[in-house]
Amino acid sequence: MGFQEAETHLVFPKTASVEQLRCIRESIAAERDQRLSGGPSVSPQTPSPNSILSQPATAPIPSLPVASHTPAAPQTLPPASQPAPVESSMAFFRTLQSNFQHVMVYENPALQQKALSCIPVLQLQTAAQEKLQQAKEADPGCKMNAEDLLLLELLRWFKGEFFSWVNCLPCSRCGGQTQSSGGLSPSTEDLRWGASRVENHFCGQCQLINRFPRFNNPEKLLETRRGRCGEWANCFTLCCRALGLEARYIWDSTDHVWTEVFSTSQNRWLHCDPCENVCDKPLLYEIGWGKKLSYIIAFSKDEVVDITWRYSCKHEDVLHRRTQVQEGWLRQTINGLSSVRQQSLTPERRKELLERLLVELVEFISPKTPKPGDLGGRTSGSLAWRVARGETGSQTSKPGLVFTPSENEKLQKRFHLQYNVTKDQYCRVSNNEEEIKGWEKGAWKKESVFRKVENDWQMVYIACIEGSSSGRITWKFDCSLAGLKIKTVSVKASSETFHSGKVTWRIHSNEETTEFLGDNTLHSFQNVSGATDLVLEAILSGGEGDTSWQHAQLFRQSLKEVEESSLEIIITMVDA
């Protein structure tokens, strides 16, 4: 079709004009419709994309449909697709219009600043740079950039530390479990923040009605930090825009929403679901969840795009379900909405958007073939991208920090380390109270675990990554190079389990392994005397149902307990 193939994406010749690109857009759309309807692959009235690209930029362009508010003639569709009633088309148009208007909220500079004040930007950027370095070490030809890794860190933080999922609210009076019991009338304040729907979460224990307004204003969601997929995608898309990432809000007519972010290094839109902490797995819903998809529409500040075909490998089945509006009407309508919005853009920006759209449309022509990597460990994509996303087949990280005695600790012959999960900070008491920020920075090895902040319950802990059957963390101490050996070891650790969840604490030294309880009590170990190194290990496993990952927790404590240490290790040493 005249595209040039780059490492991970398609590009156009720089000589291609905007009018040529528009013609190609219509050709691709016709090609897709013909393939789905089983007709000839290219309409006789449609010029070949190759011939269009080979024409000089000033050559006359054949008259083809372009963006317009006027509905086009109905396309030839499979027999199952019947003409849609006017009422259905108008309802669909109102949905398109409403979402297209809503995304402009994300462009408010004051709101973006408010979002930035909630995001640990420096922490995420630092982590992104570290991951980028790892990716480049694994793949020296890596063409990823820091934005790609920043997106992954933002997803991780948003789900793990910032936002909370709500099925039923905990009772605000007694803390007990509530049940959804219909709806309530919205207050003036609710309506101010876009909550036209208010759920009644009734507590059977104390008979209290707990109101759950379904806020639709991302500014309010920065404060409440809870909800279901609508609130998650709404707030996450704002956070992406606040960080300068080009993002769009994705609406799925089968009752789900998420975000896409444009990768400048890969020149394509990346699927991002903050509810799942998932990136670039578009077949998740159809194959993984078994959803019967029909319409998936993307809304950004510049355009509306029908991206249904990215998320399906069963195009004919999808088209048979697309009966709410006619295909020609939908294409002309979204092109018209985009055309009006883009009137204020520069010619260069309009051409850039059109080039991106054409690359997408080519992607949409042929259904994807689902691979095991689409839902499990990814096997496609560059090695750097897979390493950055932890998709090379293992969630085990490279060995990290090994604690060795500092000059001060050599003199004292004492090592004393504390970790506070609320602050997410280590304090190396024996080395002038040196602070180490981040639980993973003090760990030697970690596998499938993360730090979870529950803003609704005001609790924090370390647990397995959702979907993992087990996880582990280890900390290592080695004094061999200092000419010392261990005399005594004392460890205080805390853990909690629910249902069939299990946490196992172990000390490994002198080729011996000793288990102990995480009961927040200081335990002493004499059998390690004479060793020069020691490994402390915590293993999380078990649990039941969809929330099994929460049934084994390390260091669970209140966010208000800012001074209480969650882990303490004291080692005394003698000369070797």
Interval 428-442: pLDDT, tens: 999 999 999 999 999
Provide the pLDDT for residue 379: 34
Whether residue 183 has pLDDT greater than 90: yes
**229, 317, 523, 533: the active-site residue:** 229
Answer yes or no: 575 catalytic.
no
Answer yes or no: 174 catalytic.
no
* 359 band by pLDDT with thresholds 50, 70 and 90: confident
Tell me the backbone φ, ψ of residue 472, rounded to 5 degrees.
-155, 155
Provide the pLDDT for residue 511: 78
Provide the pLDDT for residue 137: 85
Largest CA distance in the chain: 89
- Which of 199, 207, 127 lies closest to 172, judged by CA? 207
Is this structure's pTM higher than 0.85? Answer: no
Burial 70-107 (b: 16+ CB within 10 A, else e): ebbeebebeeebeebeeeebeebbeebeebbebbebbe
Q: Where are the alpha helices (DSSP H) in 383-530?
A: 383-388, 407-412, 439-442
- Which of 161, 58, 217 lies closest to 462, judged by CA? 161
CA distance 22 to 53: 11
Provide the pLDDT for residue 51: 34
The edge-to-edge listing of strands for the beta sheet with 209-213 is 178-184, 198-203, 209-213
What mean pLDDT is reported for the chain?
Answer: 84
Whether residue 197 has pLDDT greater than 50: yes
Sign (positive or negative) of CA dihedral 371, 373, 374, 376? positive
**252, 273, 306, 374: the active-site residue:** 273
* 47 band by pLDDT with thresholds 50, 70 and 90: very low
- Which of 509, 495, 518, 515 lies closest to 449, judged by CA? 495
Provide the pLDDT for residue 365: 82
* 115 band by pLDDT with thresholds 50, 70 and 90: very high
Burial 199-217 (b: 16+ CB within 10 A, else e): bebbbeeeeeebbbbbbbb
Whether residue 307 has pLDDT greater than 90: yes
Highest-scoring range by mean pLDDT, 59-68, 392-401, 412-421: 412-421
Provide the pLDDT for residue 393: 40
Place of tokens 């002038």: 432
Of residues 69 and 207, more confidence is placed in: 207
Provide the pLDDT for residue 555: 96
β-sheet bridge partners, residue 170: 177
Whether residue 50 has pLDDT greater than 60: no
Provide the pLDDT for residue 27: 67
* 289 band by pLDDT with thresholds 50, 70 and 90: confident
Provide the pLDDT for residue 75: 39
Provide the pLDDT for residue 25: 61
Interval 449-500: pLDDT, tens: 999 988 767 899 999 987 778 899 999 999 999 999 999 999 999 999 999 9
Give percent of the chain with pLDDT exceeding 70.
80
Highest-scoring range by mean pLDDT, 77-81, 142-146, 296-300: 296-300
Whether residue 71 has pLDDT greater than 50: no
Whether residue 59 has pLDDT greater than 90: no
Provide the pLDDT for residue 376: 41
**201, 256, 416, 551: the active-site residue:** 256
* 165 band by pLDDT with thresholds 50, 70 and 90: confident
Averaged pLDDT for residues 167-178:
90
Whether residue 43 has pLDDT greater than 60: no
- Which of 330, 286, 280 lies closest to 304, judged by CA? 330
Of residues 44 and 444, more confidence is placed in: 444
Averaged pLDDT for residues 558-564:
87
Answer yes or no: 256 catalytic.
yes
Interval 494-548: pLDDT, tens: 999 999 999 999 999 877 899 999 999 999 998 899 999 999 999 999 998 877 8
